[in-house]
Amino acid sequence: MDIKEIQNLIKFVAKSGASEVKLEMDDIKITIRTGSETGDVTYVSQAAPMQMAPAQQAAPMQQAAPAAAPAAPAPEAAPAASNDKYITVKSPIIGTFYRKASPDKPAFVEVGDSIKEGDTLCIIEAMKLFNEIESEVSGTIVKVLIDDSSPVEFDQPLFLVDPS
Amino acid sequence: MNIVKLHATTSTNDELKSRFRESVLPHLTAIYSLKQTRGKGQQGAQWVTEDGKNLTFSVLITEGVSDLTPFLINQVVSVSIVEWLKNDLQIQSKIKWPNDILSVNHKLAGILIENSYSGNFLSSSVVGIGLNVNQVEFEGLPKAISLKNITGKEFELEVLLISFLNVLKNNLRDPLKVAQDYNKYLFKYRQVISFESSNAVFNGRVEGTDKDGKLILRVDNELKIYDLKELKWMY
């Protein structure tokens, strides 16, 4: 397993929403913790996910355990616990949520709109840096969970999308 | 390096984003325009510039971008501008947090970064930079300055662009290391100045930034963290 594969694995685990995955192969044992234990105060987990990854990657060999099967690839946006039918789009960063590119433009999406993978759903602005949030699925916007111009935390649900 | 020159466009960031939506563009594709009809400044402010005198361009970052955060990109770009000005043009400059480039206390360049997230990871970044080059009068902008104001010389815009892109390209090979230099180039770094926050004026010593890009000040011997919107500089 080379560094690239380990990096990809870390990314996969981080995206899956799992808090810990242990993997054991012929000559290698890997434990990946995403550091997003529930119950933590939010500002702890607002650390950008990739800043943690290299640190963990530096010490990949830890105690072994039965391989947590990497299961079927989880949908990119982790499904919400309750609305199993819908996909929840969450904020990847802390910042301010904007539904429009600028005040005089229409909203990127409205409830009932059909969206394609890659469509921009909103902008999260932080520190004068503008971040377009793209949809990872195609479907229909079921609900907009945040008011325009409101502050959002890392991992806060923003939209519900019906992928069917 | 893939450089596109335009005579006019609304905004080079919008132009680059829209071209990137329509087709696959290589890492570090740059678009520069002699004229921007709707050049974007920060917070909806317009970036006003005399046609053909200044370097207004946008560059696309895709390679390795999923390993970065928005503020890390900002740090690498800001440091790249300061190092480029220093090494290639012998001009000293500072980063006014979070991303204005000042020289002799006047604004020489501005940065506007627009990223795209796919899930929890960045998928691309469009970095817009406006650098005052050959313009010498800035009506209504007492705090602006250009390369010509500083050096007395005229510059070829495209030559500047290519030399800057080379610095950026190199720095993006080791972004985490480059980002570490951000604090030391901060305007007023380790100096005590006056700030205003929540209608109160106080003195604070600029100590650096945290990982999210917030400003760390030492106030009454205590480290405090400030968001952009809650702090006004009174220098």
Q: Which pLDDT tens digit goes with each residue over B9-46?
A: 999 999 999 999 999 999 999 999 998 887 776 545 56
Which candidate from A54, A103, A128 shows the least CB-CB separation from B42?
Answer: A128
Q: Are B8 and B101 members of one domain?
A: yes
Q: Do A92 and B71 touch (CB under 8 A)?
A: no
**CATH 2.40.50.100 correct for A76-162:** yes
Query: Hey, what are B164's tokens?
Result: 């800057």
Q: Are B223 and B172 members of one domain?
A: no
Q: Which residues from chain B sit within 8 angstroms of residue A50, using beta carbons?
A: 66-69, 121
Q: Are B128 and B73 members of one domain?
A: yes
pLDDT bin (cut points 50, 70, 90) of residue A79 is: very low
d(CA A123, CA A46) in angstroms, rounded, equals: 17
**DSSP state for residue A69 in the 8-state scheme:** -
Q: Are B26 and B52 members of one domain?
A: yes
Task: Say if residue A52's pLDDT is above 50.
Answer: no
| Ranges of each domain in chain A | 3-64, 76-162
d(CA B207, CA B91) in angstroms, rounded, equals: 24
Which pLDDT value is given to residue A164? 82
pLDDT bin (cut points 50, 70, 90) of residue A73 is: very low
d(CA A110, CA A141) in angstroms, rounded, equals: 7
Is residue A133 a contact partner of residue B117, using CB atoms and an 8 Å limit? yes
Q: Which residues from chain A sit within 8 angstroms of residue B118, using beta carbons?
A: 76, 118, 134, 136
Query: Span A40-67, mean pLDDT?
Result: 39
Which pLDDT value is given to residue A38? 42
- The CATH code of the domain that includes B100 is 3.30.930.10
Q: Which residues from chain B sit within 8 angstroms of residue A152, using beta carbons?
A: none
**Mean pLDDT, chain B, integer:** 93
Q: Which residues from chain A sit within 8 angstroms of residue B120, using beta carbons?
A: 14-15, 49, 92
User: Can you give the residue range of the structural domain that contains B222?
Assistant: 192-234
A51 touches chain B (CB under 8 A): yes
Query: Hey, what are B118's tokens?
Result: 């796919």
pLDDT bin (cut points 50, 70, 90) of residue A53 is: very low
Give the least confident one: A11-20, B144-153, B219-228: A11-20
Which pLDDT value is given to residue B1? 78
Q: Do A136 and B118 touch (CB under 8 A)?
A: yes
Task: Say if residue B61's pLDDT is above 80.
Answer: yes
B69 touches chain A (CB under 8 A): yes
Is residue B101 a contact partner of residue B82, using CB atoms and an 8 Å limit? yes
Which pLDDT value is given to residue A49? 40
* Mutation to test the B interface, candidates A6, A90, A97, A130, most B Cβ within 10 Å: A130
Q: Are B101 and B209 members of one domain?
A: no
Supply the ipTM of this predicted assembly. Answer: 0.90
Chain A, 86 to 115: residues with Cβ < 8 Å from chain B are: 92-94, 102-103
Residue of B nearest to A101 (CA): B44
Q: How far is CA B44 from CA A46, A102, B2, B128, B190, in A?
A: 27, 8, 29, 14, 31
Residues β-bridged to residue B193? B204
**End-to-end CA separation in angstroms for chain B:** 40
User: What totals of helices (H) and strands (E) does chain A contain, helices first?
Assistant: 3, 10
Query: Span B113-126, mean pLDDT?
Result: 97
Q: Are B9 and B56 members of one domain?
A: yes
Which pLDDT value is given to residue B139? 83
Which three-class secondary structure string do you get for chain B?
CEEEEECCECCHHHHHHHHHHHCCCCCCEEEEECCECCCECHHHCECCCCCCCCEEEEEEECCCHHHCCHHHHHHHHHHHHHHHHHHHHCCCCEEECCCEEEECCEEEEEEEEEEEEECCEEEEEEEEEEECCCCCCCCCCCCECCHHHHHCCCCCHHHHHHHHHHHHHHHCCCHHHHHCCCHHHECCECCEEEEEECCEEEEEEEEEECCCCCEEEEECCEEEEECHHHCEECC
Task: Say if residue A59's pLDDT is above 90.
Answer: no
* Mutation to test the A interface, candidates B21, B117, B210, most A Cβ within 10 Å: B117
Report, in angstroms and rounded to the nearest whole number, the Rg of chain A calculated over CA atoms.
18
A76 touches chain B (CB under 8 A): yes
Q: What is the pLDDT of residues A96-129, one digit of tens each?
A: 999 999 888 999 999 999 999 999 999 999 999 9
Give the least confident one: A53-67, A68-82, B141-155: A53-67
Task: Say if residue A35's pLDDT is above 80.
Answer: no
Task: Say if residue A47's pLDDT is above 50.
Answer: no
Q: Are B81 and B96 members of one domain?
A: yes
Task: Say if residue A163's pLDDT is above 80.
Answer: yes
Query: Span B123-148, mean pLDDT?
Result: 94
pLDDT bin (cut points 50, 70, 90) of residue A54 is: very low
Q: Are B139 and B211 members of one domain?
A: no
Q: Are B67 and B164 members of one domain?
A: yes
Task: Say if residue B162's pLDDT is above 60.
Answer: yes
Q: Which residues from chain B sit within 8 angstroms of residue A46, using beta carbons?
A: 212
Up-side HSE of residue A135: CA atoms within 13 Å toward CB?
22
pLDDT bin (cut points 50, 70, 90) of residue B92 is: very high
For residue B149, the distance in angstroms to the closest alpha carbon of chain A comes to 28
Residue of A nearest to B99 (CA): A128
Which pLDDT value is given to residue B48? 64
Q: Which of B200, B167, B208 is nearest to B184 (CA)?
A: B208
B187 touches chain A (CB under 8 A): no
Percent of chain B whose pLDDT exceeds 70: 96
pLDDT bin (cut points 50, 70, 90) of residue A37 is: very low
Strand B94-96 with B100-103, pairing:
antiparallel
- The CATH code of the domain that includes B229 is 2.30.30
Which pLDDT value is given to residue A19? 66
Task: Say if residue B176's pLDDT is above 60.
Answer: yes
Which pLDDT value is given to residue A50? 41
d(CA B209, CA B215) in angstroms, rounded, equals: 5
Global confidence as pTM: 0.77
Query: Span B47-53, mean pLDDT?
Result: 77
Q: Are B152 and B107 members of one domain?
A: yes
The count of structural domains within chain B is 2
Residue of A nearest to B115 (CA): A131
Is residue B54 a contact partner of residue B146, using CB atoms and an 8 Å limit? yes
Q: Are B140 and B211 members of one domain?
A: no
